[in-house]
Amino acid sequence: GLSIETLKSGARKFIYSDRLPSDFSISSNVLSNGKIRVLISGTSGNPISGTSGTLFSFNVKAGDGLADTSVVTIDNVILSDAND
């Protein structure tokens, strides 16, 4: 069905917004159930700027066999700061 656009290296392509500090990185892996886990982390403890708006984005590619109407669900979101 759906996949996230990838770079030439094969890594998923995430587009960082200006809200993420420069030391933040985004990584991902495919779980055994086919879901993709995305992790955003920073090493300095600098906060994400602002209180609303886009943090990152990605392009979703649809396979030929995907139904005309499909739902992309983002769930199980966990946020934490330096103090947990």
Res 28: pLDDT = 92
Cα(47)–Cα(55) distance, integer angstroms = 12
- pTM score > 0.85 for this model? no
Digit-by-digit pLDDT tens for the chain (84 residues) are 678 899 999 999 999 999 999 999 999 998 998 888 999 988 888 888 998 999 999 998 877 777 677 777 888 888 777 776
* CB 41, CB 24: distance < 8 Å: yes
Res 1: pLDDT = 64
